Structure 1
Amino acid sequence: MNKKYIKSPMNYIGGKYKLLPQLLPLFPENIGTFVDLFAGGCNVGINIEAKKVICNDKEQAIINLYNECKKHSSEVMLEILDKTIKKYELSKTNQEGYLKLRNDYNSGNRSWYMFYALLTHSFNNQFRFNSKGEFNMSFGKNRSSFNPTLRRHFIAFVNILKQKNIVFTNKDYKKLTIGKLKEGDFVYCDPPYLITTATYNEQGGWTEKDEKELLYMLDYLDIHKVKFALSNVLIHKGKENKILQEWSNKYKVHKMDYNYANCNYQSKIKNKDSTIEVLITNY
């Protein structure tokens, strides 16, 4: 990557950091209001150039974290985080401390620092909530900690937020007032993928009905001359998203050269392990 991008302080499943050099040049120039419907790790929102940025996600814990990052200096936040890590004696090997923190978090102290301390010591630095809303990601034994690299990412992220006209919202994307958007504004969406199994989509969290509703909304934006870009996969491990495939015929499809399985990218559709990831735009 020639350009220096800010990396999310979270290891978010499907995070777009590695794709930024391909994605951002495909986005429009001179964006008025940029809206990210499924902000996730915020890799796109934090790096976009726009007059105003709106990052939305239905997961309250991460939006709460981002809003706290906006309010406080990195020094203040690190002090609170370090105290929490010290209190629970968190490390790569102390599973007992991690489980105590997780239990305390699930018992009602849903603070940003409890959440982030869990995140930095969980398996693969990821989070997951069960149907009761309890954090249930396992301990990242011998792997996960708030290491110097994560600390640097956290500081850079918090500091750059202070320079951005950015708003974080915690809503179902369908409740956002997209009707107020106009020509010159831009909507990006990176929804759960219908044909992949990520932790956010393990229990059928994203259905064909959800897929069709989102595509209908993007058609609405197109009719009203609002530019959009949709990240998704057309094919994954032999499965094909036929709904998306058919819908994409009326728009422009850009193939992304990246595979989340961390193996060599295969463009051959016949390969049963191949993933065809795309950016679909109406411009």
Structure 2
Amino acid sequence: MKKRGTVEVFDTNFNVFTTGKSHIADHKELLYLCTVDDSVIKSAINYTGSKHKLLPQLLPLFPTEYNRFVDLFAGGASVTANMIKFGHLSTYLVNDIDKHVIDFFQYLSNVSFESFKSEIEFEINQYGFSDTKKKGYSFYGVDSSKGLSNYNKEKFLKLRDDYNNSQSPVLFYLLVVFGFNNQIRFNKDDEYNLPVGKRDFNKSMENKLQRFMNILQTNNISFSSVDFRKIKIEINDFVYVDPPYLITDASYNENGGWTEQDEKDLYQYLDNVNQSGAKFALSNVILHKGKENELLKKWASKYQLHILDYHYNNSNYHSKAKFSETVEVLITNYFPVEMNK
């Protein structure tokens, strides 16, 4: 029950019935009260393409019976975190090609929150970064809309150089905290290259980190950082797939980060998953700014196409386009329980 919310235990003395041959002392009746927390767990990092806003639509479309959950392109791992939180009992594999992120998650899964928080606060003090959690924005002569970029700029450049020379999980997290839009970006030389941002390690960010770490440390999670083609799937796995989107302009598509051949290889990989008897669910964008993913459209005709906010089976998704420039879909090789009700 602790995975679902805050648990309180109440007890009262209760007379036990015996035939006189047994003596049972301190017999009580117990009441367990669980105040359920249905809020979505956000990742500790601000990852491009995070699915935390879509999770209320995605989770009901996921299967309920499987032995292992495979997050093939985990990104910020918010999907895995919420699969765990909402009671899906299985083992978990969190995989992403970005080794910096996976190393960070692995570190968080093995260190206490209080210990990590102490490391963060020590480094913030060492670099001389702002600390609005203790001092507020007015101490630095700014408000929240103007932000702290001018105050933290030189300190951030020092942090960035230090991390690029000697990478560590603590410095990685500080780059996310003090970096532009709290995002992650590395150049072709594997150097973090975003400029300073407007925020610091505030209370909201601390709470988000703590909730995320609590999830990572309560379950059977494995981590890997390999190309998706190398992940072997078993018959009782459920594979969630949120790859780079071929027709969008996110940073992961720069410099050939995700090619048409990668897209075709992924479709073949999922066809093999289907043939193995395992289940998969693929998140993707089928229409974006007037551009249509024809490859996806053709391949998805073999499976179940669900337009988010609606539930269609291989239907005409163009009706959704008038509401948005981007049409997000989920493609599954199974019929979700929600559709069978």
TM-score (norm 1): 0.91
The reply on whether 1:238 has 2:290 as its aligned counterpart is yes
Q: Which residue of 1 aligns with 2:181?
A: 124
Give 3-state SS (helix, strand or coil) of 2:249's partner: coil
Q: CA–CA distance in 1 between the matches of 2:328 and 2:240?
A: 15
What letter corresponds to residue 137 of structure 1 in structure 2? L
Q: CA RMSD in A?
A: 1.7
1:202-261 per-residue CA deviation (whole Å, 9 max, x = no partner) reads 222000000000010000111111100000000111111100011011111111249xxx
1:68-115 per-residue CA deviation (whole Å, 9 max, x = no partner) reads 1111100000111111111112232310000110011112x1100011
What letter corresponds to residue 133 of structure 1 in structure 2? D
CA contact (8 A) 1:9 1:154 kept: yes
Q: Which residue of 2 aligns with 1:87?
A: 126
- Tell me the CA shift for residue 267 of structure 1: 5.2
Q: CA–CA distance in 2 between the matches of 1:54 and 1:90?
A: 36
Structure 1: gaps spanning 5 or more residues = 259-265
1:133-189 per-residue CA deviation (whole Å, 9 max, x = no partner) reads 11001111xx221111110010111112221111111111111222xx11x320001
Give 3-state SS (helix, strand or coil) of 1:58's partner: coil
CA contact (8 A) 1:10 1:125 kept: yes
Structure 2: gaps spanning 5 or more residues = 1-36, 131-147, 311-317, 335-341
What letter corresponds to residue 128 of structure 1 in structure 2? R
- Tell me the CA shift for residue 47 of structure 1: 1.3
CA contact (8 A) 1:187 1:227 kept: yes
Q: Which residue of 2 aligns with 1:61?
A: 100
TM-score (norm 2): 0.76
The reply on whether 1:156 has 2:211 as its aligned counterpart is yes
Q: Following superposition of structure 1 onto structure 2, how do residues 102-113 of structure 1 map, counting pairs within 5 Å?
A: 102-107=160-165, 109-113=166-170
Equivalent in 251, 257, 260 of residue 205 of structure 1: 257
CA contact (8 A) 1:267 1:276 kept: no
Give 3-state SS (helix, strand or coil) of 1:28's partner: coil
- Max Rg structure: 2
CA contact (8 A) 1:267 1:274 kept: no
CA contact (8 A) 1:257 1:277 kept: no
Q: Which residue of 2 aligns with 1:77?
A: 116
Q: Which residue of 2 aligns with 1:263?
A: none
Q: Percent identity?
A: 48
The reply on whether 1:169 has 2:221 as its aligned counterpart is no
- Report how many aligned residue pairs link the two structures: 268
The reply on whether 1:281 has 2:316 as its aligned counterpart is no
CA contact (8 A) 1:34 1:50 kept: no
